[in-house]
Structure 1
Amino acid sequence: MNVGIYDPYLHILGGAERYILNIACCLSQDHKIILFSDNAKLLLEAEKKFGLKLGQIEVRTWPKDRSARQHELKEFDQFFYVTDGSLFFSPAKQNLLIIQSPDHIPANNLTNKIKFLSWRKIICYSEFMAEIIKKRLGKTAHTLFVPVAQTQNLHTAKENLLISVGRFFPHLHNKKQKEMVGILRALLKQETIKVKLCLVGSVDPDGDAYFKQVTEETAGLPVEILIKASAQTLNALLDRAKIYWHATGYGEDLVKHPERAEHFGVSTIEAMAHGAVPIVFPAGGQLEIVNNGQNGFWWRTPQELIKYTLELLQNDKLREKLAQAAQKSSANYSEDKFCEKLHEILKS
C-alpha cells in the first residue's frame, strides 16, 4: 500500500514533527511511505535528532501546483496531512487530517465543510484537543498519543538537576523558559541548595529575540542551555535529572486562548520514562499525563513550584516513589502501543 505524508512544518523538527515521523516509521514496516519535504537531507537530520530509523522512507518535493498535486495524490491509498489551518480536496483513497493545536483548526465555514467531505478521519494528540475540535467543528477526532521510547538505563545516579525541554519561541504555547529561570532565581534566594537547571531545545526562526532574553535572564545562575542536543545527549541528561520542570500555560488566559496550553506534552513523558519526576503546570494535555501527588506534581504559582522542587530534592524516599510511578505511567505511551492504536484508527 502507498502512504503519503505531508507536514508543512516538517523543517522545524520539533515534537509535532517527531510525531508524524513516528507514524511514518510505524507504517513503513508494511507499506511504502512517501514523505513530502523540500529538504532532501531532512531524514538524516531527523534520525540524528530523534534517534529514529527512517532509511526505508522516500522523500519527494511537495507539488506547489494544484493540478500537479491532485495527480500526485491519486496514487496514495492513504494520505496524512498535518494542517496549518488550511484544507484542500485530496483524491487519495483514504485521507487523514492531523490537527496539532487549537490554532490549526480549519475555519468552520461553507467552503471548508465541502472540502471536509474528502477527509475521512481527524487525528489529534490528546483529549484536550479532541474536545476543542468537537466544539469548533462538530466533528469527532481520534486521539493518538505521541509515543515515547522506553529507556533501558534505569540505574544512572541521579543528580540535583532540573531539566526542561522545549523550543524557544515567543508565540502560541510558549514554553516559559524565561519564567522558569526567574523561579529558579527565587528558589536560590529562599534556600541554599546546590541545584542546576538545564534548558534543552532548538530556537525557532522567529525566536532569536526571545532566546536572547532567556540567556540574559540566566546571568549569575546555575543554568545550562543546549540548543543542538542530539537524542543521545538528551537521554543522558534525562537519566541524570531528578526533576522535570514544565510551565507552558502559566500566566495565560487559557479560557480565551486555549492554544497557549500544552497540547500534549511528550517531553514530560520522556522525562518520566527516565525517572525524572515531573512538576507541571496543570493545563491542556498535561492533565492527562500527570496525576497530582501520584506520579508527579501540579503547580499553579511560583511558590508551589519551589515548594515541590525542594520537597523532591530533600526527600529521596518521596522522589524515588514518584519516579517509579512516573516510569510505570510512561509505559502507556510506548511505541508499540502507539502503532497498535494507529492501526485501530485506520481500521475503524
Structure 2
Amino acid sequence: MKIGFYDPYLDTLGGGEKYIFDLALCLSNDNSVYIFWNDASILQKAEERFGKKLNKISLVPNTFSKGASLFSKYRQTSKYDCIFYISDGSIPLLFAEKNILIFQFPIPWIRKTWLSNLKLKNINNVICYSNFVKENIDKILNVNSTVLPPLVEKISSKEKKQNLIVSVGRFTKGMNKKKQEVLVEVFKEMVDDGLKNWKLVLIGSHLAGDLDFVESLIKQSNEYPIEIHTNVKYDELRDVYAKSKIYWHGAGFGENLERSPQFAEHFGITTVEAMSAGCVPAVFNAGGQKEIVTNEKNGILWNTTVELKEKTKKLIDDEKLLNELSLNARKSSEKFSGDNFCKEARDIVL
C-alpha cells in the first residue's frame, strides 16, 4: 500500500510528532510510506530527537501547504491508498482510498455544519490519543472514534537513581502549555522550606518564537538547583529519565478545563516514558494523565501546588513508598508497548 502522513506541527518534534513517526515506522515494513513536508532536513532532526532510524520513510512535497489549490490536493492525495492527517482543529478534505483523521486534543470550538458533514463523509476513521480526547471529539462530531494510545519505548537502566525531579515537555506559550513556570516556583518554595540535595531538571523542545519563554524560566530559576535543557537528543533524555526519582507535570493547572479542555494534557507520552524508567509521576489531576496514573498506586495526582509540594515531600521522606510506586509505575508503563501499538495501527489500515 502507498500510505501518506501529514502533521502541520512536524517541525516542533514534540510528542505528537513522535506519534506520527512511530505510526509511519510501524507501517513502513510492509508498505511504501511518505510524509508530506518540504524541509528535507526534518528526517535527520527527527532521528536525533527520537533516537529512531527513519530510512524507510520518504518525504514528498507538502500538498497541504498554504496556498495549495483544492485540485492540487485532489490530484496528489488521490494517488494514495491511505492518508493519516493530524488535525489542527479543523476537518480537511482528503481524497485517498482510505482517509484517517487524528485528533491530538479536544476541539470545543468546532461546530458541525453542512460543510463539516460533507468532509466527514470522506473520513473512514477518526483516531484519538486517549479516552479523554475521544469523549470530546465524539460528542462534537457525532462519530465513534478509535483510541490508539501512543507507543512508549521501555527505558531500562541499571544506573543508580539520583535526587532528581525531571519534567519533560515542549517550552511554549501556545495552547499546549506545560506550566514549567509553576513547577519552578513550587520547587523554589520547597528549597526555601529546607529541601536540600535535590535538583529539578526541565527538558523540552522549543521553536524560535518561544525562546523568550525559555529565557524567562532561566531567569526565574536563578540561584536555585534547577537545570533547563532545550532540544536535547533522545539518548540524553533517556539518561536523565534513568537517573531521576520523580517526574513532575503540570499541564492544565490554573485553566478553566470545563470551558477549554484542550489545555489539559491530552495523553502523557513523557509521563509513561518516565514511568518506564522507574520515575514516580506526580502529575496534575486532569485530562489523559488520569488514564495513566492511579493516585497512590503507581504515582501521585495533585490538584493544587500545595498538594504537589506536600506529596512530593512525602515521596522524598518515605523511601519505601517511593520504591513501591516506582515498581508499580514500571509495570503500568508496559501496556503501551510497541507490539500492541503496531498491531492496532495495522488493523486500522486494513
TM-score w.r.t. the length of structure 2 is 0.96
1:330 maps to what in 2?
333
Structure 2 contact 108–136 (Cα < 8 Å) conserved: no
- Residues 160-171 of structure 1 aligned to structure 2 (within 5 Å): 160-171=163-174
Q: Which runs of 5+ in 2 are unaligned?
A: none
Distance 2:102 2:108 in 1: 9
Structure 1 gap ranges (5+): none
Instruction: Give the equivalent residue in structure 1 for 2:263.
Output: 260
- Whichever residue aligns with residue 334 of structure 2, its letter is A
Matched, 1:84 2:80: no
Structure 2 equivalent of residue 312 of structure 1: 315
Tell me if the contact between 2:264 and 2:286 (Cα under 8 Å) persists in the aligned partners: yes
Q: Which amino acid aligns with 1:262?
A: E
Q: Residue 192 of structure 2 aligns to a residue in which SS?
A: helix
Counterpart of 2:71? 67
Q: Is the Cα–Cα contact under 8 Å of residues 84 and 104 in structure 1 kept in the other structure?
A: no
Question: Aligned match of 1:149 in 148, 153, 161?
Answer: 153
CA contact (8 A) 1:105 1:133 kept: no
> Which secondary structure does the structure 2 equivalent of 1:255 belong to?
coil
- Work out whether residues 110 and 140 of structure 2, in 8 Å CA contact, stay in contact via their aligned partners in 1: no
For residues 103-142 of structure 1, what are the structure 2 equivalents within 5 Å?
103=107, 106-142=110-146
Given that 2:156 and 2:276 are in contact with CA atoms closer than 8 Å, whether structure 1 keeps it comes out as no
Gap change, CA 1:133 and 1:192, over 3 Å in 2: closer
Which whole-Å CA distance do the structure 1 matches of 2:108 and 2:214 have between them?
24
Match runs of 1:85-100 below 5 Å:
85-100=89-104
Q: What is the identity percentage for the equivalent residue pairs of Structure 1 and Structure 2?
A: 36
Partner deviation per Cα, 1:44-78 (whole Å, 9 max, x = no partner): 11011001121011101112232222111122111
Question: Offset at 1:115?
Answer: 1.1
Report Cα offsets for 1:142-188 as digits up to 9, x if no partner: 001011111232x2100110000011112213101011110001111
What residue is the counterpart of 1:293 in the other structure? Answer: 296
TM-superposed CA distance for 1:111, in Å, is 0.7
Q: Which moved more, 1:251-260 or 1:204-213?
A: 204-213
1:121–1:142: 8 Å Cα contact kept in structure 2?
A: yes
Q: Secondary structure of 1:245's partner?
A: strand
The equivalent residue for 2:175 is: 172
Q: Report which stretch shifted further, 72-81 or 240-249.
A: 72-81
Kindly provide the amino acid, as one letter, of the partner of residue 102 in structure 1: P
Task: Find the partner of 1:201 among 182, 201, 204.
Answer: 204
Number of matched pairs: 346
For residues 120 and 306 of structure 2, the distance between their equivalents in structure 1, rounded to whole angstroms, comes to 47
Q: CA deviation at 1:83?
A: 1.4
Partner secondary structure for residue 48 of structure 2: helix
2:306 equivalent in structure 1: 303
